[in-house]
Amino acid sequence: MGPDVIVVGAGFAGCVTARILADAGAQVLILERRNHIGGNAYDWLDENGVMRHEYGPHIFHTNSEKAIDFLSRFTEWYDYEHKVLGYIEGKLVPIPFNLHSIEMLFPKEKAEHLKEVLINVYGMGNKIPILELRKSDDPMIQELAEYIFEHVFKYYTMKQWGYTAEEIDPAVTGRVPVSISYDDRYFQDRFQKMPKGGFTKLFENMLEHENIMVQLETEAMNHIHINTDTGLVQYKGARFTKPIIYTGLVDQLLDYVNGDLPYRSLEFNVRTEYGEVQPVTTVNYPTPANEHLYTRITEYKHMMENPPQERSTVAVELPYAYDRNAAKGNVPYYPVFTDESKKSYQAYVDLLKDIPNVYLLGRLAEYKYYNMDAIVEAAINFSYQFLEKK
Ligand SMILES: Cc1cc2nc3c(=O)[nH]c(=O)nc-3n(C[C@H](O)[C@H](O)[C@H](O)COP(=O)(O)OP(=O)(O)OC[C@H]3O[C@@H](n4cnc5c(N)ncnc54)[C@H](O)[C@@H]3O)c2cc1C
């Protein structure tokens, strides 16, 4: 008989969709090229007793009731509020840069004055993107904005993206605005909790369904072929007219006919440590590359409900330009948004417009930065719309 639906990719996009369609009675086959489920949220208990996040630290935070309700079917939660410190002029100060950061970096009198001006102009509790702060007419704010830009954004952005902060889409630097408050938390969302037992366990529970079959270590593009000229879609050499929900790279899906879409990749140099290495989960190094080549260091155990005392696991993060053929930097992590890349992506989407049974969903297929809660919500919405149309 074969599956009713093929889902490519076992990350949040694929698994949430698979579960909703399976609940509605569809036989779902998930093809996943890695040897595990969970996509980039995959975590595992390592030899130090630390819940390691294989593809970088993943912190769940949301205001979406829809995402909370759905995921809470598959996990219990524990409280965790993420804090990040930045290494600036030899000190560890709160990031996003806030009123505490000012107090730690400037002499008392100057700090008081700067805070007063910021509060008067922008209002307590507000968040201001750095590029907006730099446009201020007030000389005091301008001076502070230049300081923050230089010490928090300039080199971090160049290391992370390979572009200057001015060249990259303003939404990127806007994601970590300057905060006019004393709140040192990285996120302010109402719901800040981590799944008890980890993300992978949550995924296992989600996929535990008689209508879902998962094939790991299966490169979908070895089995799926699309001819955009004739509209023919094939699975394992035979015409396939049932839905394919594709959460992988859209350029790969279409055999790179318009070239590769640019991504930023990362390498995590992981090592075992003893005791505690740093006071919070993540310390950013917004310093020039000749001072620190890496962007941040993560000590995973700070995210755990019951962390081991003696041992620790630390990951040093190094950004790379993505190259699917390279030995390092061959995992596509972040889309690099430029006018050109957005156009190239759209050209790929246009090629699929006459192929009604292939759906693009998720951060790779939609060439979009999604947080976990956002892709969960998008996948729920997609699935119900999909079911309505059937
Ligand atoms: C370093 C980093 C840190 C992050 N931190 C956070 C955070 O703290 N909080 C947060 O909310 N979000 C975070 N995110 C975002 C989060 O990772 C995404 O929201 C989430 O992974 C998106 O899920 P997805 O299913 O779209 O993609 P993915 O998780 O990437 O899943 C796609 C899956 O499809 C598989 N696949 C792709 N192509 C094929 C193919 N051709 N054949 C077979 N399988 C294929 C892949 O192997 C992968 O498993 C972070 C992202 C990164 C990169």
- DSSP conformation letters of 113-145: HHHHHHHHHH-TT-EE-HHHHTT-S-HHHHHHH
Last residue of a domain, one of 125, 145, 179: 179
Q: Are residues 223 and 105 both part of a single domain?
A: no
Confidence at 331, pLDDT banded by 50, 70, 90: very high
The answer, yes or no, to whether residue 176 has pLDDT greater than 90, is no
Residue 139 neighbours by CB under 8 Å, 6+ apart: none
Pocket residues for ligand 1 (CB within 6 Å)? 8-14, 31-34, 39-41, 55-59, 219-221, 247-249, 252, 266, 333-334, 362-364, 370-373, 375
**Residue 109: how many CB atoms within 10 A of its CB?**
8
Q: Are residues 348 and 298 both part of a single domain?
A: no
Q: Are residues 245 and 342 both part of a single domain?
A: yes
Work out which ligand 1 atom sits closest to the CA atom of 253.
41
Q: Is residue 89 part of a domain?
A: no
Last residue of a domain, one of 179, 213, 229: 179
Q: Are residues 109 and 164 both part of a single domain?
A: yes
In this prediction, residues 218-230 reach a mean pLDDT of: 96
Q: Ligand 1 centroid vs 330 CA: distance in angstroms?
A: 14
The answer, yes or no, to whether residue 173 has pLDDT greater than 80, is no
Nearest CA among 87, 114, 89 for reference residue 103: 114
The answer, yes or no, to whether residue 175 has pLDDT greater than 90, is no
Q: Are residues 60 and 202 both part of a single domain?
A: yes
What is the DSSP annotation of 346-385? HHHHHHTTT-TTEEE-STTTTT----HHHHHHHHHHHHHH
Nearest CA among 173, 175, 200 for reference residue 54: 200
The answer, yes or no, to whether residue 172 has pLDDT greater than 80, is no
Instruction: Specify the number of domains making up the chain.
Output: 3
Across all residues in the chain, what is the average pLDDT? 96
Last residue of a domain, one of 149, 179, 209: 179
Q: Is residue 254 part of a domain?
A: yes
d(CA 274, CA 127): 37
Q: Whose CA is nearest to atom 2 of ligand 1?
A: 56
Q: What is the pLDDT of residue 310?
A: 97
Mutate to test the pocket of ligand 1, among 176, 247, 251, 281 (most ligand atoms within 8 A of CB): 247
Q: Ligand 1 centroid vs 333 CA: distance in angstroms?
A: 8
Q: Are residues 245 and 343 both part of a single domain?
A: yes
Residue 39 neighbours by CB under 8 Å, 6+ apart: 9, 10, 11, 12, 13, 14, 15, 55, 247
Q: Are residues 257 and 338 both part of a single domain?
A: yes
Q: Is residue 189 part of a domain?
A: no
Task: Return the percentage of the chain with pLDDT > 70, whole number.
Answer: 100
pLDDT, one tens digit per residue, over 147-156 is: 999 999 999 9
Q: Ligand 1 centroid vs 86 CA: distance in angstroms?
A: 25
Q: Are residues 253 and 345 both part of a single domain?
A: yes
Work out which ligand 1 atom sits closest to the CA atom of 370.
19
Q: Is the pTM of this model over 0.85?
A: yes
The answer, yes or no, to whether residue 329 has pLDDT greater than 90, is no
The answer, yes or no, to whether residue 174 has pLDDT greater than 80, is no
In this prediction, residues 375-390 reach a mean pLDDT of: 96
Q: Are residues 159 and 307 both part of a single domain?
A: no
Beta bridge partners of 95: 84
Mutate to test the pocket of ligand 1, among 81, 302, 372 (most ligand atoms within 8 A of CB): 372
Q: Is residue 230 part of a domain?
A: yes
d(CA 382, CA 64): 16
Domain assignment of residue 205, given as a range: 5-80+194-261+330-389
263 Rama class: left (phi>0) / alpha (psi -120 to 50) / beta: beta
The answer, yes or no, to whether residue 346 has pLDDT greater than 80, is yes
Q: Ligand 1 centroid vs 379 CA: distance in angstroms?
A: 13
Q: Are residues 354 and 254 both part of a single domain?
A: yes
Beta bridge partners of 91: 88
pLDDT, one tens digit per residue, over 267-326 is: 999 999 999 999 999 999 999 999 999 999 999 999 999 999 999 999 999 999 899 999
Q: Are residues 257 and 267 both part of a single domain?
A: no
Q: What is the pLDDT of residue 339?
A: 87
The answer, yes or no, to whether residue 131 has pLDDT greater than 90, is no
In this prediction, residues 251-276 reach a mean pLDDT of: 96
The CATH code of the domain that includes 381 is 3.40.50.720
